[in-house]
Structure 1
């Protein structure tokens, strides 16, 4: 082997030795750091322990080592339950995140609907309805309600009659005629003019309606 090849091998060997020494030095530094950390933790732990002992003595609290041991064993036995509980909390948190926008939107829609009801006067109507109901309860006695119950059948018959289209139309015509007559200036009519008006076809029809109405009223009135 020539000198050049030998020199190359020596250089490679020196490089490997340097790497090995560097690795050993790093491990030594890590070991020293770990020892320093353990030492610091020991000091802190001792201080915490001493402080806890003093605080417990001041508060007259006695700890049973057996109870602490049993508690530790229970905690270890229930690690799976704790894990499941944390998973449940995470699921609930995700559910809250998903549901919150929906709840906010629902609240906004409900608020908008309340504002719409307020603009349309629903709440004012309910308040006035309450006043009407209060006045009704105040003014109507139990005897009045009893009489109303006793005469409910004729009232129902009257309501059924009012619901007929021809009756409703007749009431509408009568109301409209009364309104128009009230707004007009009614002239004075002499006897002769009244006789002439009665001879007109529409007046004869009106008189026939009145006579028929009175006849039916007398027929349906048991006290007549």
Structure 2
């Protein structure tokens, strides 16, 4: 009986040690994977910011010169504003915005706006629009999104900030008007928000940890 009990204890010890070893391996793997995921996300963000900002126009670390804002104009939730400066002076801002009324759900955007109010670039960062139709808002599928470059609140005029089906100047997609309409409205609202809050957005400390 004693031998059987000892064997059971040894078996339990072996199983316990095996369990601890497995937990350590899984924990280490998760830590390494999480670090890699964070690094990949950071690199993706930097690439996206570079795409919507004028090359060589700023000299600060835009990804860390940020503030958080909430506004219905930018869509539901909290939004990050990335600020570009040169020699400490404002150059442009990139607003993270959401078009809440996409066909497949909310459409996440980055809207770059120069300090003078002209768009420096727009990119869709996340969406669930219909493949082959609404997904043409993605630059990898179509260059439609580039039509915002250089636009402002006055170019086109207020009534023209719409898709052509609604009397505006922006193209819609065959069989998919809801998606571009949502993006156009979100970009226009972002411009309005920037015009109303421009000085306030750049009034905060230059670098945030």
- TM-score of the superposition, structure 2-length normalised? 0.28
Larger Rg: 1
Which fold has the larger relative contact order, with Cα–Cα distance below 8 Å and residues 6 or more apart in sequence?
Answer: 2
* Bigger fraction of residues in helix: 1
